[in-house]
Amino acid sequence: MSDLVLTRVRDIFQEVFNVDPQLISLDTKALDIAGWDSVGHLSLCGALEEAFETRFDPGELAEMTSVRAIVAMIDGKKGLAAGAS
């Protein structure tokens, strides 16, 4: 998994949820973050889409229940984009 992606995801968690990015790890789950409810999830996903210049389909949004899943999904999308060029 990409350390650069994880670092950016941590920054986004700070922006969206006002949490210390150092407290965010691959093991962080939705239940660990105050505000990571359905509305917070949409805000998070919008910020991730903007930061990584990608779009998530509804199935992907539903799978994004942990930082590990988010980083893996973004890594996968970046890999697909690199393979397409």
For residue range 23-64, what is the model confidence (pLDDT) as tens digits? Answer: 999 999 999 999 999 999 999 999 999 999 999 999 999 999
Residue 21 has pLDDT above 70, yes or no: yes
Provide the percentage of residues in the chain whose pLDDT is more than 90. 86
The arrangement of secondary structure in 3-84, i.e. its CATH architecture, is Orthogonal Bundle (1.10)
Assess contact for 39 and 16: CB atoms under 8 A.
Answer: no
Q: What sign does the CA torsion over 23, 31, 17, 70 have? A: positive
